[in-house]
Chain A
Amino acid sequence: MSPAPLETRNAQAVPIADVPDLGDEEFRDAILTAVSLGSRVSALFGHPAGEGKLRLFCVLANDELGSLALLSRQVERRFMSLANDCPGVHLFEREIFEQWGVEPHGHPWLKPVRFQPPLVAAGARASQIGVANFFRVEGEEVHEVAVGPVHAGVIEPGHFRFQCHGEDVFHLEISLGYQHRGVERALAGGPDKRTIHYIETLAGDTTIGHAVAHCETLEALAGAEAPARAHAIRGIALELERLANHTGDLGALANDVGYLPTASYCGRLRGDFLNMTAAICGSRFGRGLVRPGGVAFDVEPARSAELQGRLARAMRDIRGATGLLWETPSVMARFEETGTVTRETCEKLGFVGVAARACGVGRDARQDFPLGMFRFSQVPVMTWHTGDVFARAFVRALEVESSGKFIDGQLKALPAGPVLAALPERAPDRIVATLVEGWRGEVCHVALTDERGRFSRYKVVDPSFHNWTGLALALRGQQISDFPLCNKSFNLSYCGHDL
């Protein structure tokens, strides 16, 4: 019998040596079996194993059991692609090919992910940005619309190609990589004085989500825990981040269907939530707040009381602002049955966060893999079953409500004590996988340490990495003019994907 994957929990450091090293078939079978039993692939990445070999590590997450499983295998130049049997890994395999030149044999869609230079030492750039073998539909009156990288709004760059027949979209291909800054390469060898700043700018709108995942990872490696009060403040900041972004998205969705009252109110309210984060740490995006061992700023009683008042006023206003959406037929007509993604597609491709919950999938790391304060204060998982723009908007509105309640509860009952603790040395030769529910969905960080406790590899999976394919699929059979609306309903990160 082949060795079973190593069972572990969220943010738990285990010796790398304990991760089973499987053969080609065993590795494949183990992943496919686990996926058929309800797990999904949270991360799949390469790490040089010496002698020209690459060791593939896979992190499987089982939402129902709340358990993680780690497994690995060593490959040389190629390995059998899993993408045909487990479509959720398609982008991970393309990434492995681009980063290490190891080919997933039989991959149906092997193209560059970020047009980045390989991570292999002295590797030459093999691809040129925007030059790829794009999918093309041929036929009478079929035409192609290409958009980007520079878009019309204040938004990050990406390239979109629509295969259209009149207004109808047959297929959308999304080609990213314009934001590639070399973060993963630079994180290896750390942590050092720049590490936390890389983490905080991985996806700037998810500063708290990524910083919490990173600090939980470091704390797991050090075998230590942040003080309770720090956990509470991290929880508050994480939910404020969710509130700000969800509010902004609801406003942007209203704007995209031309419903200006909600667009205006939400534009202002988003700022109110950002300013609450700034009241805690001086930065609207939470820069400088979450630090290894805790948080850098306390919330004193007076500050907490002021925040409670501001929160209550903002929550009233957001309720009023979003309530208008559901009562306005012209808004609902545009939201409903636009950009639908089925639950089956979601399960197959392993979408996360709002995009998954809007397909009726109750997947939420705060509930399934709770860390920090979420171990003690549960936040209900909000789902809706229609998989369309409306569902993604409605789930956001429901989450706004529950985040507000969570923050209020935490502010009223902050645990006493310090907010920052010194961390002991990090353990050597360990691997740790950490999942945090950022506002877009599951933020996954996987760290491997060397013999001195430094990162030999630091893998980041932003929720957008899982979900970009969802946007592409949502556009099939839609009108091209619905693209902005569908895009906003996912609101994915370009830099979080491009790293």
Chain B
Amino acid sequence: MLKVFLERLRQGYRTSAYPLEEPKLPDRLRGLPVIDQAKCASGCEAGIESCPTSALGMKDGKLELDLGRCLFCGECERTLPDGAVRFTPDHKLSARRREDLVLRGQELALAGALEGEMHRVLGRSLKLRQVSAGGCNACEADVNVLTTIVFDLGRFGIQIVASPRHADGILVTGPVTENMKLALEKTYAAVPSPKVVIAVGACAISGGPYIGHPEVHGGAPSVVPVDLFIPGCPPHPMTILDGLLRLMGKIERKRAAEVVE
């Protein structure tokens, strides 16, 4: 027994101070990409072709980057003219509307809180049922890690629950395979209203690397209405946590309080 206590002392306190402090993230993290249209003057068409999921495109002569399709592989940084797309270590990526994920050089409109009655019911306590529908276990693992002592999801009133009947919503990963479509629909139907759907990762938002495969549907939006999109392949756990807290209005509120001070 003594050994257990000694080890407990040695292991120390490990819960991160987030959101009071900004998280410490790796310098090479490929987070929010920044587009510089001016750098595309000399032509970006050739570089666009290198994007594995066609997340990059040109519209009205302007470069577009769809975060919902992006695998954050950084290939475009190498093939486009220098500086046209630059990945920053900024982990804040989530959005409430699919179209907000399409970057054209504007600032990303980060997810806002749930509205009205939804916010009243779910803003303080959010119970989620996770459904992996063709996910490769990377998104799943980085959702699961939020329940460890480092992130300690419980302190934000968020919990992953075992049954859809106990849940306020579902958190979907994977491109939604044909073989999981029915199970996803049934799980969604089993969640009592009001309910939310959160799509985590490129697969769940758009199909990711599997876009266009006849074996998959194009992610969660093809089957259920999605309230929160969290891009990445997989998203960093902090990206996921940031998205969840924004949905509950826990980050906005803090910012507003700071402004008042």
| Residues in A lying within 8 Å of B, measured CB to CB | 114-117, 129, 149-150, 152-157, 177-182, 185-186, 193-194, 197-198, 201-205, 207, 248, 261, 264-265, 267-268, 270-271, 275, 278-285, 287-288, 297, 317, 320-321, 323-324, 327-328, 493-495, 498
Instruction: Digitize B149-186: 1 where CB-to-A-CB distance is under 8 Å, 0 elsewhere.
Output: 11000000000101110000000001101111011000
Cβ–Cβ contact A203 & B53, under 8 A: no
Report the interface size for chain B: residues with CB under 8 A from the other chain: 68
| Residues in B lying within 8 Å of A, measured CB to CB | 3-4, 7-8, 10-11, 14, 26-30, 49-53, 71-75, 129-145, 147-150, 160, 162-164, 174-175, 177-180, 182-183, 187, 203, 208-210, 213-216, 233-234, 236-237
Cβ–Cβ contact A275 & B214, under 8 A: no
Taken together as a complex, chains A and B put the C-alpha atoms of A278 and B209 apart, in Å, by 21
Taken together as a complex, chains A and B put the C-alpha atoms of A193 and B79 apart, in Å, by 12
Cβ–Cβ contact A204 & B52, under 8 A: no
Contacts of B208 in A (CB 8 A): 201
In the complex formed, the residue of A with least CB distance to B160 is A154
The 26 listed contacts between A and B (C-beta, < 8 Å) are A117-B214, A150-B129, A153-B144, A155-B132, A156-B132, A157-B133, A157-B180, A178-B180, A179-B174, A180-B134, A181-B134, A181-B213, A194-B53, A198-B209, A204-B136, A264-B148, A267-B147, A271-B145, A271-B150, A275-B26, A282-B26, A282-B74, A287-B72, A320-B10, A321-B7, A324-B3
Given A197-B209, A265-B11: A271 and B148 interface contact (C-beta under 8 Å):
yes
A302 CB, nearest partner CB in chain B, Å: 11
Contacts of A284 in B (CB 8 A): 142, 234, 236
A-B CB pair tally, cutoff 8 Å = 187
Cβ–Cβ contact B11 & A157, under 8 A: no
Task: Name A267's contact: one of B8, B129, B149, B160 (CB within 8 Å).
Answer: B149
Given A178-B183, A317-B10, A320-B7: A285 and B138 interface contact (C-beta under 8 Å):
yes
Contacts of A324 in B (CB 8 A): 3-4, 7
Cβ–Cβ contact B137 & A203, under 8 A: yes
Contacts of B71 in A (CB 8 A): 197, 287
Cβ–Cβ contact A129 & B179, under 8 A: yes
Cβ–Cβ contact A181 & B177, under 8 A: yes
Contacts of B148 in A (CB 8 A): 264, 267-268, 270-271
A98 CB, nearest partner CB in chain B, Å: 13
Taken together as a complex, chains A and B put the C-alpha atoms of A498 and B144 apart, in Å, by 22
